[in-house]
Amino acid sequence: LILRLDDREDTSAVESLTAQIAVAELELDRRAKLIANRRNLSTVNAAVLHSQRESAALAIEPLKADASRSDRDFTRLQRELAKKQSLASQKVVTESELDAAIAQSEKSQTDRLHLDAQVSQKQMMIEQLLRKAEGVMLEASIDEATDDLAVLESRRTIAALKRQLTEAQLKLERASLRAPIAGTIHALAVKTPGESLRADDVVCRLVPPGLTMVAEVELPAGDIGFVHIDQRVKVKLDAFPFEDYGAFTGTVDYVAPDAEPESPDNRKRRPAYTVRVRFDAPELLSPAGKPLRLRPGMTLAAELVNRRETLGAILFKPLRAAGAEVGVN
């Protein structure tokens, strides 16, 4: 992880959407259970009504048979009564026999009417049970369609929330800038929290592990004349005092073809050439022989060796210069 942008708003959005999805899914599960219970109850009620209707339909059949038999008995008794009334007028049948026939006929009529009433009542009950069962089924169908629409809407809401959560999570992931490879961060552009960067700004430079360290030296334009490739260099690292660690040697392996222009941010900085120095040893060692841990960005001072002279030449150089001046005069 190189750096993390301000992700408080994105984190809050992810947490909020996650909570909303959890609540919506719980509500959908609760509604699904209620729907299942209501449908089961409707099915049971409809089954009970159908059972009652079938029981009533079975019970009406004996009543119909009794009513039919009562009708036949009443018809027969009516014919017998008419015959006895004719015989009574001829004094063949006594009054008591006629009265008995009349009473029997009236009782048969009463029984017939009572049975007809029972049949009618049973038929009405069967029709009521049928209408009630049809009403229960119709209401169940309407409730089922309404429930299906509600469940569909809930699922659409959850799907929309999940899409928003995916987008928020992706945005949150993008708030973290991660290096594509392992390495050491060098020249990080952001120094303090809250700094802003433009779209084309370089955030940092990454130094891969195992890369050979080199020293970059800014050389003033007035001193570049005698610098060349393979020139010997002595490097003093500020992090390792010269008195304790001495100087490290290397060679020039690159000289910039052009000088860097004057910096607009620092008017005191003069044009300079970039010179790259490669150390002689693959790793730098302390006087005790332990490897020194170099880090990108360490400051240093470099001494470029232009030519070698003897001690006598160096000592007599001022005298030669003075003699030359006398000769000129």
How much is the pLDDT for 307?
54
What's the mean pLDDT when you consider all of the chain?
78
Note the pLDDT tens digit of each residue in 180-198.
Answer: 777 777 666 777 777 777 7
As to burial, measured by CB atoms within 10 angstroms (0-12 exposed, 13-18 middle, 19+ buried), residue 326 is exposed
User: Taking the CA of residue 221 as centre, how many other CA atoms within 13 Å lie in the half-sphere pointing to its CB?
Assistant: 10
User: Which of the four pLDDT bands, split at 50, 70 and 90, describes residue 324?
Assistant: very low
Q: By percentage, how much of the chain surpasses pLDDT 90? A: 12
How much is the pLDDT for 160?
94
Note the pLDDT tens digit of each residue in 220-257.
Answer: 888 888 888 999 999 888 888 888 888 888 999 999 98
Evaluate if residue 33 carries a pLDDT over 90. Answer: no
Question: Which residues face 260 on adjacent strands?
Answer: 272
What the chain holds in terms of domains, given with CATH numbers, is 2-175 (1.10.287), 212-323 (2.40.30.170)
**Residue closest to 273 by CA, chosen among 218, 215, 216:** 218
Range among 143-147, 156-160, 225-229 rated most confident: 156-160
Place of tokens 């150089």: 317
How much is the pLDDT for 23?
93
**Residue closest to 218 by CA, chosen among 268, 277, 168:** 277
Greater model confidence, 188 or 15? 15
User: DSSP secondary-structure letter at 221?
Assistant: G
Note the pLDDT tens digit of each residue in 98-110.
Answer: 778 788 878 888 8
The neighbour count for residue 63, using CB atoms within 10 Å, is 18
Angle at 209 between CA 203 and CA 214, to 5 degrees: 80
Note the pLDDT tens digit of each residue in 265-303.
Answer: 545 567 888 999 998 876 777 777 788 777 777 888 888
Greater model confidence, 63 or 231? 231
- Dihedral of the CA atoms 166, 170, 172, 174 (nearest 10)? 180
Evaluate if residue 317 carries a pLDDT over 50. Answer: no
